[in-house]
Amino acid sequence: MEKVNILIIGAGVVGLSIGKYLSEKFEDVIVVDKEDSFGRHTSSRNSEVIHSGIYYPQNTLKAKMCVEGNHLLYEFCERNSIPFRKTGKLVVATNEAEYLYLDELKINGERNHVDNLKIIYQDEIKELEPLVIAEKALFVPSTGIIDTHKLMYKLANQIEENDGFVIYEMEVIEIEYSNGKYLVKFSNGEEFQANIVINSAGIYCESIAKILKLDTIRHNIKIHWCKGEYYKTSKLKNIKHLIYPVPDQNGIFLGIHLTVNLNNDVRFGPNAFYIDEINYRFDESFEDEFYKAIMNYLPLEEGDLHPDDCGIRAKLQGQNDEFRDFYIKEESIKGLPNFINLMGIESPGLTSCLAIGKYVKDILN
């Protein structure tokens, strides 16, 4: 049996960021993942957007970590030559109710300390994005895009430079807590003893919590899987900014929006629908919903969209629930000292990853 100080479950962008910060300060840090490489789940199935932090309620972890994470991520990219582009984004409004919403969104963003937000009107919108059909928009200059794969590659490298390890094909199937230590068992028969265990298993975080017999319903940390699909198009060229509608009224997702990647490919999505099992099959029955949403703010014709990819959100917010924040806690109070539990790390989890890493380091200080 191997003995380690800190064992982090999950080599997605969040587990790797936690690994980076902890391996700078502590000895014997390992990150384990059940797959054959890093980021095989949500961290490679997202929009790759560095969000600004305008949407989230003030003083929530999502608001604070998104804004801090945005700054940390741009710095990290510059320092480590990770490809990124600060594209800026337009949130566009197409009717009276949405015009008012944009003013509220600007105020909310400013309360969250998002800089340089500006309401702009038709002429300025046309100058920035000639194809967009909208009377009014919120311009958000601090939004950008990033190469997530290179980010994760660098984080994994830094863990190893700090004498930590990232080990693949290690699926955690059992964890026992006794006498202040955790015995972690893997499907390949290996066993590790750890002083500290961190659950950063993304959409599988609830299975890890349940292995430790945490009653997720009683503790109000049940996970709801919410899928999002993308469509790509080659019809729209020379788009420079990300273009978002106003978000859906239930706060489940940001609305079907346009993103460009670092190669300037255009795609739309993700939409949002709750699912009962994890699978990455593409359900084309939502195609009409995409056309209808996009044609509100961009010229598009039937046949212009083609199915692309999909990802799954680990949401604490169920279908009819109110806003839920990230859940990041040390679980002594539930009888599990030195077990740090991350649940519901949905968007803006990529943007927040470095801020989350720092936050977990502070919990252990």
Ligand X SMILES: Cc1cc2nc3c(=O)[nH]c(=O)nc-3n(C[C@H](O)[C@H](O)[C@H](O)COP(=O)(O)OP(=O)(O)OC[C@H]3O[C@@H](n4cnc5c(N)ncnc54)[C@H](O)[C@@H]3O)c2cc1C
Binding site for ligand X (CB under 6 A): 9-15, 32-35, 39-43, 45-49, 51, 170-172, 200-204, 228, 270, 311-313, 345-351
Bridge-partner residues for 274, per DSSP? Answer: 226
Q: Smaller CB distance to ligand X: residue 136 or 353?
A: 353
**For residues 212 and 285, what is the distance between their CA atoms, to the nearest angstrom?**
38
3-state secondary structure of 127: helix
**Cβ contacts of residue 215 below 8 Å, gap of 6+?**
none
Q: Smaller CB distance to ligand X: residue 152 or 246?
A: 152
Q: Smaller CB distance to ligand X: residue 132 or 353?
A: 353
Q: Considering the complex, what minimum distance in angstroms separates the CB of residue 113 from ligand X?
A: 17
Q: Considering the complex, what minimum distance in angstroms separates the CB of residue 302 from ligand X?
A: 24
Q: Considering the complex, what minimum distance in angstroms separates the CB of residue 135 from ligand X?
A: 26
3-state secondary structure of 50: strand
Q: Smaller CB distance to ligand X: residue 53 or 136?
A: 53
- Tell me the residue type at 101: Y
Q: Smaller CB distance to ligand X: residue 119 or 211?
A: 211
Cα separations in angstroms, 269 against 47, 77, 177, 323: 8, 25, 42, 21
Smallest Cα–Cα separation from 140: which of 108, 118, 169? 118
Smallest Cα–Cα separation from 296: which of 122, 135, 141, 87? 135
Q: Smaller CB distance to ligand X: residue 136 or 229?
A: 229
Q: Considering the complex, what minimum distance in angstroms separates the CB of residue 115 from ligand X?
A: 18
Q: Considering the complex, what minimum distance in angstroms separates the CB of residue 288 from ligand X?
A: 20
3-state secondary structure of 342: strand
Assess contact for 65 and 355: CB atoms under 8 A: yes
- Element of type H or E holding 181: strand 181-186
Q: Considering the complex, what minimum distance in angstroms separates the CB of residue 100 from ligand X?
A: 26
Smallest Cα–Cα separation from 181: which of 2, 365, 363? 2
C-beta nearest to ligand X: residue: 349
Q: Considering the complex, what minimum distance in angstroms separates the CB of residue 58 from ligand X?
A: 19
Task: Annotate 259-268 with b (16+ C-beta within 10 A) or e (fewer).
Answer: bbbeeeebbb
Q: Smaller CB distance to ligand X: residue 32 or 92?
A: 32
3-state secondary structure of 171: coil
